[in-house]
Amino acid sequence: MTEFTGGNRITLLCCGEAYFPALLKEIAAARREIFLQTYIFANDAIGQAVAAALMEAARRGVQVRVLVDGFGSRDFIATYGEALRAAGVAALVFREEIARLSSVFSLRRHRLRRLHRKLVAIDERVAFVGGINIIDDSNVPAHIGPRLDYSVRVEGPLLVPIWNTLRRDWEKVAWVSLKHRDRLPANDLPRPQVAGFQQAAFLLRNSVRHRNTIANAYLEAMRAARVSILIANAYFFPGARFRRALINAAQRGIRVTVLVQGKSDHPMLHYAAQTLCGLLLRAGVRIFEYQQGFLHAKVAVIDQKWATVGSSNIDPFSLFLARESNVAVLDGQFSVELEASLHQVIANGAQELTPNTLGRQSWRTRLLRWLCYGLVHLMTALGLRGQGKKS
């Protein structure tokens, strides 16, 4: 059962236009320590601005640690490494990819287990959790359009588990990468004060203690739903338990709405997901495809009371393989704000998917859907093999 902590202030940030000014402001105000963890750290205007802010913080004596994923940020060290080291920024790479071709074509399970979290913690004051990488919203394929995503600014007692996670991840990667333990002093743990009135929980997904934490939090909230379930998720390929929870909710009269990508950067997942859409549509779930740009959000609102914002997609790779983090918020005001934002996105930029829409697809498209569905299942089975092993 999800354990919520009170006394927090959770602020919703929509897209990079809200997130990056807030992040850069807090980096500039840092006095003691910064942890930044991201899947993608791009070499674009945003990436360069964040890197410059981190280097400036290090030069004025702030301890800055950056951890990136070896696949999502495979050019990070070549691009930023020398300048970061010269400024005093410590940088590590989680499972660095050596051979690009093998990373593209190999289906070995360890290559599917990525560091997909997007976390920042600064001093004992503030943290950021969400789905927004260090990348410009406009840095997307030309045919897709700007990125739509969310993050939250966190103040209050929830900082403690966020800091603990960042510290543990750093120590583990330092041990593997540098062959010695970069132990951080225990007395450096934050002691944040009460900052607001919101109850929130920090949800992790990893392969040891928190294998199903995020999935179970979703399932718990959906099974308790009484009025509505609204989910926006970039890569939506739910497993059997998740599908049953959505279908059961719709069948007991809950208004269930799902917003997914209409323009995808991963066509295989897009077509595979469409194979599941017919089943959900027939059960009464409404599905919308976002057409105005690149939907990258991983958020949900249930009964205008429970909400989550984070990095975890609703697909096997996020829920069973990758390292992910979400914040769940038990607060009416926050939930209503996020729900209103999503309804505006649906009204202004989405098209509803119907059984007739799928039925009108050509036989070639239907065949492609089933082929992609089979391939995703194969990759999932390969990745889940040996799930009990520490990763």
Catalytic sites, residue numbers: 116, 118, 123, 296, 298, 303
H or E stretch at 294: strand 294-295
What is the β-pairing status of strands 147-148 and 255-261?
unpaired
- Torsion sign (Cα): 208, 212, 214, 220: negative
Centroid of chain to Cα 208? 19
| Residue 263 DSSP symbol | S
In the block, tokens 């909400």 appear at: 307
**273/370 Cα distance (integer angstroms):** 10
Distance CA 289, CA 295 (A): 9
Q: Where are the alpha helices (DSSP H) in the chain?
A: 15-29, 45-59, 76, 82-87, 100-105, 109-112, 159-178, 213-223, 240-251, 267-282, 316-320, 332-349, 355-359, 363-384
| Beta-strand relationship, 5-14 and 198-205 | antiparallel
The residues facing 299 across adjacent strands are 232, 309
